[in-house]
Structure 1
């Protein structure tokens, strides 16, 4: 498994990992969520690894301020900067060929920001989208599974707290408090059932995210509105997945995304929460594999020929 360090234009170092053949017909780039890291996708990387001749190249990386990547300054803790970071990862590690972009939570929002800020590159390169437990409407639908008034109070407290954390710097004192935080993290991120190994990985990833990363990204995450950007991506094969009991990006978030993407398949997984790649690995891997199959050049050419034939028959 080749690993590399990519230094971004502002000096932040990204930890990047590549899996699979460099000459694969498709490259899959998987982006993790807020306060998590590339390991969120470990089951999907393994599933794509065993596809044989259909095996894609897979790139995962830790976003700035997360995992094994370097700390970000406060001005760099924005979705806009994350979108630019994705553009740089593609330029350096997947410079040619079709790409499938997959994003969980913050990772999905990063993909939307990339599409907004780099529309020409997106149109030229992206052959498929995989959006999991994410939103194009900031915190519009976020209720934390609570009544509206209580959710509004919680959001206000979260916003104030995020501002304080953002100014606290690139350190991780909360790591020592992880055992005490475990019940809250389990309630917030997972649904009816929770595998202990999945929860432990989510906790460890959270412990590696700095206070600046926990708080700094909050304003741009809450404010993002990218449904119009998605509506311009009409011909991109896509899958949109969400857990029925997702407290952070509930099903209305996924439905609005699917409505904006005419070629998207929407799946609402019963009883599941926010951490679908870890919580429901088999369903997520199967959906990702289906998008990768649709994005391969041979399948896309066949689909286009079929569409032309249908139009000729209709005429």
Structure 2
């Protein structure tokens, strides 16, 4: 089912993001992965709630990007939020391990450590959604039993770079097997790249506005600056290393697994990173269990600029999950 939001764009509250520096907030813990990377995890929400929602953030962001949704969900469910490797408070990652396949395994290990029992809804924005799809491919037995719902926000199952000059270049890199050489070179020049990087620049704001926001009504200048600051916290070498995995990203095999549970796909019409066509295709390939919500005028940061729509879509998914669990007995 496809639902196009007809709500007029109203300015949402600009989130005041908790600082990255200083001691971790209450409810924090560390999950060490099987390859020795420490992941920062925060637990919040209703104590003793029968359902847990695990929120996975997007590329070059951190768990704070869910701050507004966190407030909407907190009274109803137990919340688990985590910083993906190399992002936020989590430890840095060896650059060859900056892959969607690895973040899918990380998500599974967060579940094992922090939500070992009980039903779970997984929510992911952009790269966070890709991590969920990778987990579905790696551990399909979780879906339908432990994982009872999935929320995919501004994300894609693959094919982000398929056409044009860049697409042909990517195909050449794949054919020549040059990705390991690229990552090795990146490791060598990483300190230099980070040393000369300029943050909070006017060009950075233009770039953030262009890629992360939609039409003119979508781009509040204060919100643009908040998102710019959030994205510029991630070290450039980590960003560049993860970018390589997006070029080769294909999780289409995981979609029948997601089809076992209620799924909501949210896509924005002006998203330049994961275009709305990817959301439509994602929902169609998942099948009858998927509901598609299309948000006109919004861009990739739709959870910050169309907060009410995203919050409502999340809460509606929880209602669908509750109804499905009641039907199952």
1:113 aligns with 2:137: no
Deviations 1:209-229 (A, max 9, x none): 112211111222221222231
Q: Which residue of 2 aligns with 1:277?
A: 303
- 1:168-179 matched pairs, under 5 angstroms: 168-169=189-190, 172-173=194-195, 176-179=198-201
Do 1:165 and 1:211's aligned partners in 2 also have CA atoms closer than 8 Å?
no
SS of equivalent to 1:24 = coil
Deviation by residue 1:256-315 (Cα, 9 ceiling, x = unmatched): 11012221111111111111111211100110111122223xx3243447xxxxxxxxxx
Is the Cα–Cα contact under 8 Å of residues 166 and 214 in structure 1 kept in the other structure? Answer: no
The answer for the alignment partner of 1:67 in structure 2 is: 88
Q: CA distance change for structure 1 residues 301 and 28 in 2, over 3 Å: closer, same or farther?
A: closer
Q: Quick one: structure 1 residues 208 and 172, their matched pair in 2 at CA, closer, same or farther if it must change by over 3 Å?
A: farther
RMSD: 2.6
Structure 1 counterpart of 2:71: 46
Alignment of 1:262-301 (within 5 A): 262-296=288-322, 299-301=323-325
- How big is the shift at 1:175? 5.5
- Which secondary structure state, in structure 2, belongs to the residue aligned with residue 273 of structure 1? coil
Shift of 1:248: 0.8
CA distance in 2, matches of 1:174, 1:138: 32
In structure 1, C-alpha distance between the alignment counterparts of 2:226 and 2:31, rounded to whole Å: 24
Provide structure 1 residue ranges, at least 5 long, that are not aligned to the other structure: 142-147, 306-315
Determine whether 1:30 maps to 2:55: yes
In the TM superposition, residue 137 of structure 1 has moved relative to its aligned partner by 1.3
1:186 match: 209
SS in 2 for 1:208: coil
Alignment equivalent of 1:78, drawn from 99, 103, 110: 99
Give TM-score scaled by structure 2 length: 0.81
SS at match of 1:58: strand
Equivalent of 1:244 in 249, 260, 269: 269
- Aligned ranges for residues 195-210 of structure 1 at < 5 Å? 195-210=220-235
Shift of the alpha carbon at 1:195? 2.5
Q: Secondary structure at the match of 1:267?
A: strand
- Find the aligned partners of 2:277 and 2:98 in 1 and give their Cα distance: 26
Other-structure match for 1:312: none
| Structure with the larger helix share | 1
Distance 1:230 1:273, change over 3 A: same
- After superposition, the Cα gap between the structure-2 partners of 1:42 and 1:72, relative to the gap in structure 1 and judged at 3 Å, is same
Q: When the two structures are aligned, how many residues end up with a matched partner? A: 292
Given candidates 220, 240, 261, the residue that maps to 1:215 is: 240
Q: Please say if residues 5 and 13 of structure 1, whose CA atoms lie closer than 8 Å, have aligned partners that are also in contact.
A: yes
Q: Is the 8 A contact 2:43 2:78 kept in 1?
A: yes
Residue 257 of structure 1 corresponds to 282
